[in-house]
Structures are given as structure tokens and as C-alpha cells.
């Protein structure tokens, strides 16, 4: 979809968004672009789990999610992170609507590997007609949770959720926001990143575990036909552009 822009924002980044971010959204909205923000909440979820003495376990960069962790994840994403982001967008006079998987089966998912990760999944379908109708008028703010066809809630890595959604909807642009300028090689920005180069830098431990899920999601979206995929800390800067070749 040529006028759809999807942006993933980490939970920590919500409180650190700059004026440039809101200005760019306003420009795109005025141009008639459809804008969907997917937000995370990892640090907030971890903090709440620790406060309640709920074990925090990660495997391959994925939060292992039992039923108690899932309940806390929903609480943070829908009760803390999303309202904060909506409040900031509204304060900048942007028309916004908060969304979650249970809204008309907005995001349907399937288990990633229940025996390993518990209630963790990936997005397999989007209620395209309902979502795009809303995005005609509003900037959508969507939590990275999915619901199975049987009605079970699933925790989804926010980068993966953004990439899955961008792929399923054929988005023109996908921005994976991070706290650095893009993918770095010894503090130098990599302007264009190919899969072979990324694999080499991961093997050399130059690209660390925190960035790896983001890169994996970015290449998946690129392979699925998303026209432009970027990892950046500013919508007005290209950051690292993900390329097939």
C-alpha cells in the first residue's frame, strides 16, 4: 500500500520522543499518508515483573511468557505505555486512536513455539478493512499483542509485530526506531545493510543481541516486499536502510 507508513517505537523511546518526530507525523498526515505506530514496553514490563518478583526469562532475545507474565504484559502495554503515547500525540494536536488485538480481531496470531516460549506468537493476519478505514482519519497506535483464532492472547515482539503487519499490509515504509542513529560498526553508521554483511557483523559480535531481533524483523519485511525499511532514531534521518542486495 503506497501511502501506508508503519513505525515501531520501543517502550523506553515513548518518553524520549523529540519534536522532530511529531513534526514529521504532522507532515505525513497532512499529505494524506496512513500512519500506524506499534509500540513496545519491554523495560516497563521487566520493571513490573521485578517489583512483583515474577521471574524474567529470555531465550534467543524473546521474553518467555507464562500466563502471569502475559497478564502483566497486557497491563503495561494497554494500561501504561499506550495511554502515555496517545497523550503525547494528542498534546501535539495529532488525531489518534488507540488499538489492540481484540478490536475486531485487529491482529490474529499463532504460537511461535509454545513449548519453548509459552504465550508468545507472531502476527499471521490483520483486519485490513477495519484498520485502513480508521487510518483514513486517525493515526493508529497499536500494541504488539495478538489473539489466536481460539481467543488466546499472545505476546509478540514489537519489532516482529511491526514487520509482520507491514508485510501483510504491503506498507510502503517501515521504520524501526531505536536509541542510536542506526546499525553501527565500531560507532560508525552503516548507511545500507545487506543480509550477508549483517550475518558477518553478528558472527563477529559487532552487532549485539539487542539489535539482532530488530535486524531479523527488518530483513523479513524487506523480503516480503515492504518498499523501504529503515532502522533509525529519527524519522527525518535515513539511519540504516535495509537492502536485499
Domains and CATH numbers, the chain: 4-242 (3.40.1160.10)
Average pLDDT, the chain: 94
CA distance 241 to 237: 10
Q: Determine the pLDDT at residue 55.
A: 95
Q: Determine the pLDDT at residue 49.
A: 96
pLDDT average, residue stretch 86-113: 95
Taking only the tens place, the pLDDT of each residue in 12-40 is 888 889 999 999 999 999 999 999 999 99
Cβ–Cβ under 8 Å, residues 245 and 194: yes
Q: Determine the pLDDT at residue 245.
A: 64
Taking only the tens place, the pLDDT of each residue in 200-241 is 999 998 888 778 888 999 999 999 999 999 999 999 888 999
Q: Does the model's pTM come out above 0.85? A: yes
Amino acid at each position: 500500500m503506497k501511502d501506508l507508513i508503519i513505525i515501531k517505537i520501543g517502550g523506553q523511546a515513548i518518553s524520549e520522543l523529540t519534536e522532530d518526530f511529531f513534526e514529521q507525523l504532522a507532515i505525513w498526515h497532512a499529505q494524506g499518508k496512513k500512519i500506524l505506530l506499534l509500540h513496545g514496553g519491554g523495560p516497563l514490563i521487566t520493571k513490573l515483573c521485578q517489583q512483583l518478583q515474577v521471574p524474567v526469562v529470555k531465550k534467543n532475545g524473546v521474553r518467555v511468557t507464562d500466563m502471569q507474565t502475559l497478564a502483566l504484559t497486557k497491563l503495561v502495554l494497554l494500561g501504561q505505555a499506550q495511554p502515555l503515547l496517545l497523550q503525547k500525540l494528542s498534546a501535539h494536536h495529532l488525531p489518534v486512536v488507540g488499538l489492540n488485538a481484540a478490536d475486531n480481531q485487529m491482529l490474529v496470531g499463532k504460537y511461535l513455539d509454545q513449548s519453548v516460549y509459552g504465550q508468545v506468537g507472531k502476527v499471521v493476519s490483520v483486519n485490513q478493512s477495519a484498520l485502513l478505514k480508521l487510518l483514513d482519519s486517525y493515526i493508529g497506535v497499536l500494541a504488539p499483542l495478538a489473539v489466536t483464532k481460539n481467543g488466546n492472547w499472545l505476546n509478540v515482539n514489537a519489532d516482529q509485530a511491526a514487520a509482520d503487519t507491514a508485510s501483510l499490509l504491503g506498507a510502503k515504509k517501515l521504520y524501526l526506531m531505536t536509541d542510536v542513529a542506526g546499525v553501527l560498526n565500531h560507532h560508525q553508521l552503516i548507511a545500507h545493510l545487506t543480509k550477508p554483511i549483517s550475518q558477518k557483523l553478528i558472527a563477529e559480535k559487532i552487532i549485539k543481541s539487542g539489535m539482532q531481533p530488530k535486524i531479523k524483523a527488518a530483513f523479513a519485511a524487506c523480503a516480503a516486499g515492504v518498499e523501504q525499511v529503515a532502522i533509525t532514531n529519527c524519522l527525518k534521518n535515513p539511519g540504516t536502510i535495509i537492502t536485499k542486495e
